[in-house]
Every structure is written in structure tokens, then in C-alpha cells.
Amino acid sequence: MVNNKYPKVALVTESLYSMGGANRVLEKFLDMFPNSDIYALFGDRNRVSNKFNKVKIYFSFINKFPFVKKLYRYTHFLWPMAIEQFDFTSYDLVISSSSSVAHGVITPIYCKHICYLHSPMRYAWDLKDLYMKETKFGLLKRAIVKIFLNFNRVWDTCASQRPDVVIANSKFVKDRAEKYWGRNIEHVICPPVDKFNGNIDIKRGNYFVSGAPFEPNKGGDFLMYCASIMKFNLKVIGEGSMRKRLERKYRRYPNIQFLGKVSEKEKWNILSKARGYILTGIEDFGIFPVEAMSCGTPVLGYAKGGVLETVQDGKTGILFKEQSLQSFRRGFREIENKKWDYKYIHRYSEKFTKSDFREKILSILNN
């Protein structure tokens, strides 16, 4: 058994401020190793699931900063230093759930380090210009940030060699990591996705839904611009760094509803009755679209990133080619007018919702 082979386990991530995709994966690792300790750069115990509060959680020095909940994104130049200061001397196994720097922990020679990679640093590599644009820095701040990003890229490339094994959550992430890190990524394992267990509803509500499009890579501003012009009903669930700004900008449009954080029961109810799920950004994998498809709900998605691996164009959704109103409008008309086989979409999603994540991870550890 793995627990006998690795009696003391540490789980590492960057943020514990929400139960987004990375922390839902971390929760699955915690189910596998319930006596693990958790290490994170920053976070709040009250904003994660109760499972996390049953184990020890260690935060970095960044979590002691005043107003860290609001300003932690501006401390990214300190993240490499902070992640390296954790001490794993007494551990047999470290599993990092990494979206930026968690893979860079320093482990002892006898300690195995498995990295489950959600993404190389988005803000430092291929999406740096998008993040710069969305954070609206002035010229001086842009110059300073670019200097730190140069350091982050050098550090990231060096730190990528530290894990014994890297597992990417999609082929898209594998390709990006191999390009920027220059190391072979040994495995691709899709993240665990919860499955809808209710009845597939043929009668649908008069609305579309999107899940937490509130980060620069998720295309939330473009989505709400399209909704404001085209006037279709849009329900937006979830949280994110850009939510308040986008809500202020678009709250005057009655067809756009910001629902914020919802319960699991509410989430499934909204997804299962929607006419479609809309994704206008670049997801590394995209758990929300797969959850939508498990409800039989077709996906209208921007044809880049992980959605190319999860959505069958014309069968389980429609992929539009450009982030332009014209391209989006064409795709929207297709998804709106097509007679969808909701039960086929549900069956197709099962290839991503099967509970084999645990078995694949344990197989790698045991070998």
C-alpha cells in the first residue's frame, strides 16, 4: 500500500482562498492521504472545505502581510522565495498541486516529489501580455513588473527540474510546460471531475451559464460584452479577482446575473437546466465545461486550450475560432438553433468523470 511506503505526506499549493479547480484536486489528494499536512503560500481556512480544517495547514510569511486577502496577487515576486522556505525534512512524499510556484519546493534527497501541474506560470509566459493588460499597470509599474517577470521565468525553468515526476492535467498544459521548461512531462492525467447524478432534463431554461470567468485568461469581459450586445440571458456563478470590476461594469444589464458563490446543489441545478455553457477564455483543462456536459448541457467554447480535448465540436458543443463578436455570434446561433442530444452529451462526458484519477496516481506512486 502507498500509505505504508510513504507514511508521512505533505500537500503543497499556492492559494487556499477558494475551492477552485486546483484546490478541488488538492482535496482529492487529501482523500487519498487523509493524514497529510498542507502547505500554502496564503489562504483562509474559512474559505475552503471542512476537509482541509481537519489537518494541519502551514502558511508562508506572505500570509501575515496586512490586507493580504486583497493584495496577494501583487506579491508574486515573493512567491519563489516563500515556497522555498518550507521545510520538508521529515516527509517521505510531497505532492504539489501547482498553478505557478508550488512545483518549486525544495525536498530532501530521500523524499519523493510528485507535481500535479495545472499550468506553468501563466502571468510569466505565454499569457503575460494579457495579464499586463487586465491589471492596467502604468508605464513605471509595467517596467518594474517586467524585471520581476524575467527573474520569475529564470526561476521557473530551474525549479521545473525539482519534481521527480510531473503530471500534467491536459495535453495543452503538457505542451506548454515542455516548451517553456525544456523537460519531458511524463504523464497526462485529467483532473477528477464530479458527475451529475440527476435526470437529464430535456426541457431547458431560457438562459446560458458561465463558471467563474473572473481571471485574465478566462475571457469574462469579452463574454459579458457579447451578452450586453446580444441580450441573451446569462447566469454567472463563482468568484475571482475581476468579479467586482466586471460586476460594476455590467450590472446595469438586466440579462446578466452575477450569482457569486453557490452551493453544490444550486450549481448542478443551474447547469442542468441551462440551454448551454459558455467559455470564452483559455482554460488549461476546464472542469466547469465538463461538469456542464455531465448534465447534458452543450458547451459554446473558444477554440483554444483544454476545451479542444474535452468538447466534440458539433456533437457536445460548438467551438468558435476568434475572440470577436462576429465569431462568437456565429457560434451562439449554432448552439441556440441546433437540436442537441442531451443524453449523448452526458454519456460522452463520462470519459472525463470516471473515478480513475486515484488509481492512476497510485499506480505512478507504487511504480
Q: What is the pLDDT of residues 211-251, one digit of tens each?
A: 999 988 899 999 999 999 999 999 999 988 889 999 999 99
Residues 6 or more apart from 98 whose CB is under 8 A from it? 12, 13, 14, 115, 116, 117, 118
What crossing angle do the helices spanning 357-366 and 21-32 adopt, rounded to 10°?
Answer: 60
Rounded to whole angstroms, the Cα distance separating 259 from 214 reads 13
- What the block records as the C-alpha cell of 270 is 443551474
- Statement to judge: residues 146 and 25 lie in one domain: yes
Higher pLDDT, residue 204 or 68: 204
Domain containing residue 143: CATH number: 3.40.50
Query: Both ends of the chain: CA-CA distance in Å?
Result: 11
CA nearest neighbour of 271 among 212, 208, 199: 208
- Statement to judge: residues 341 and 266 lie in one domain: yes
What is the structure's pLDDT at 191?
Answer: 93
- Statement to judge: residues 237 and 132 lie in one domain: no
Does 132 fall in a domain? yes
Which of 127, 162, 189 marks a domain boundary? 189
- Statement to judge: residues 17 and 120 lie in one domain: yes
Tell me the Cα Rg of the chain. 20
- Statement to judge: residues 264 and 169 lie in one domain: no
Q: How far is CA 49 from CA 23, 24, 239, 263, 333, in A?
A: 9, 9, 15, 12, 39
Judged by DSSP in three states, 117 sits in: strand
φ/ψ region of 138 (left if φ > 0, alpha if ψ in -120 to 50, else beta) reads beta
Does 198 fall in a domain? no
- Statement to judge: residues 215 and 180 lie in one domain: no
Does 108 fall in a domain? yes
Going by DSSP bridges, is the β-strand pair 165-168/187-188 parallel, antiparallel, or unpaired? parallel
- Statement to judge: residues 51 and 179 lie in one domain: yes
Domain residue limits at 332: 208-352
Contact 287, 149 (CB under 8 A): no
The arithmetic mean of pLDDT across residues 114-143, rounded, is: 68
**Number of domains composing the chain:** 2
CA nearest neighbour of 36 among 96, 80, 85: 96
Does 359 fall in a domain? no
- Statement to judge: residues 318 and 348 lie in one domain: yes
CA nearest neighbour of 165 among 307, 365, 27: 365
Helix, strand, coil proportions of the chain in percent (round to 5)? 45, 15, 35
Rounded to whole angstroms, the Cα distance separating 242 from 258 reads 12
- Statement to judge: residues 174 and 220 lie in one domain: no
Does 197 fall in a domain? no
What pTM does this model have?
Answer: 0.89
Does 16 fall in a domain? yes
Does 202 fall in a domain? no
- Statement to judge: residues 236 and 268 lie in one domain: yes
pLDDT in tens, 168-196: 999 999 999 999 999 999 899 999 898 99
Residue 131's pLDDT band (cuts 50, 70, 90): low
Residues 6 or more apart from 312 whose CB is under 8 A from it? 348
Does 364 fall in a domain? no
- Statement to judge: residues 33 and 119 lie in one domain: yes
Range with lowest mean pLDDT among 46-50, 59-63, 157-161, 297-301: 46-50
Which of 127, 154, 189 marks a domain boundary? 189
The residue to which cell 492559494 is assigned? 15
Number of residues written out for the chain: 367
Edge-to-edge strand ranges of the sheet holding 187-188: 57-59, 37-43, 9-16, 93-98, 112-117, 165-168, 187-188
Residue 272 has pLDDT above 50, yes or no: yes
- Statement to judge: residues 115 and 6 lie in one domain: yes
Which of 189, 224, 253 marks a domain boundary? 189
Rounded to whole angstroms, the Cα distance separating 321 from 167 reads 29
